[in-house]
Amino acid sequence: MRTAVCTFGFGRPDHFKRMMQGLAGCPEIMNEEVDIHHYLDGGEHSQQEELLKVIEDCDVPYKKIVQRADNFGVGRQLIGARREIFDEQNYERMILVEDDIEAGPTYMTALLRLSDWAEQYDDVGTVQVWNVQAGTKQQLEGDLNKVVLTNRHFVTYCLTKKTWDLISPSLYDYEKKYLLGRDYGKRPHRRIRLFQMRKMLKAPRRQPQGNCLNPPAEACSHPFPKIDYRRSPTSQDAITSIALYQAGLHRLTTEVSRAFYFGETGIHCTPEVYRQMGFHLQGHHTWDIHSEPTTFELKYQDEEGNWLHSLYR
């Protein structure tokens, strides 16, 4: 099997159930065209038994369930899953799905097609079909083939082994120095900023060779354009984002979303933050599989000719 789809659960069985119900609507999932791997973190409040019941009750076929005996925390869990899928099991690409994303029925179709299309470019790092785009279904349906550059949160995305091999040294270095042997929530933020983020933010950006997308420089934005290392985020997502940028790799997303992010409450989010980030502006539309494109068009400017930019948020 070429593609692994990995879900992540820790507590919140209601969230996990909604996520699973969304995946159950994707024909590629139910037809076993991809392998599902469930990663359930352990420790206090993990509710693994409740999550296992959700998995069994949803009748979504799966390849493997990984139950952590201890609490890995988000950082080690996500890094560990990518290590196991790519380095140990040799999948060619991996789709990550966190427990607060609801996939629409064409989510997997659109994502796999976008991934196939993007593989022609040597400077594309990740692709996703989750975005925050306001508008009615009638206003958006003509833009299903439009793709934009993004720095949005990694709540669900696809990356290839080729990309992982380029960025994994940074993630493994971060994991070894700052995550092993400690709670993820108590990671040494000051040390990460001083020794990891400062080094990465100052490193020269690599220039990939081969057939490249080469977007206009005006369309490319640093994920943290106004943040120096003293105030930089310290999460594994932030390290992943910087590692992709420094490797000269772009992140792509469809302008029109095929999934809905419902994570109003959690470790890093409250209803107030949810609104501040603009997540309340998401359209919650579903699309017909016959309307999903097989080729895509990059969009770098809005209708007024202004360059589009995306920040890490």
Confidence bin at 313 (pLDDT 50/70/90): low
What is the SS3 string spanning 73-111? Answer: HHHHHHHHHHHHHHHHCCCCEEEEECCCEEECCCHHHHH
Token representation of residue 239: 């390290």
Average confidence (pLDDT) over 265-287: 85
> How far, in Å, CA of 123 to CA of 138, rounded?
33
Q: Are 269 and 263 in contact (CB under 8 A)?
A: yes
Confidence bin at 229 (pLDDT 50/70/90): confident
**CATH number among 3.10.105.10, 3.40.30.120, 3.90.550.10, 3.40.50.720, domain 3-298:** 3.90.550.10
Phi-psi region of 305 (alpha: psi -120 to 50; beta: other; left: phi over 0): left
> How far, in Å, CA of 100 to CA of 113, rounded?
23
| Cα separation values, 8 from 25, 68, 99, 109, 254, Å | 18, 11, 6, 21, 23
Domain ranges of the chain: 3-298
What is this structure's pTM?
Answer: 0.95
Average confidence (pLDDT) over 17-30: 98
CB neighbours of residue 93 within 10 Å: 23
What are the pLDDT digits (tens) for 47-58? 999 999 999 999
On the question of pLDDT at 118 being above 90, the answer is: yes
Mean pLDDT for all residues in the chain: 94
Q: What is the pLDDT of residue 269?
A: 79
Q: Are 141 and 71 in contact (CB under 8 A)?
A: no
What are the pLDDT digits (tens) for 135-174? 999 999 999 999 999 998 899 999 999 999 999 999 999 9
Q: Are 101 and 156 in contact (CB under 8 A)?
A: yes
Q: Are 295 and 147 in contact (CB under 8 A)?
A: no
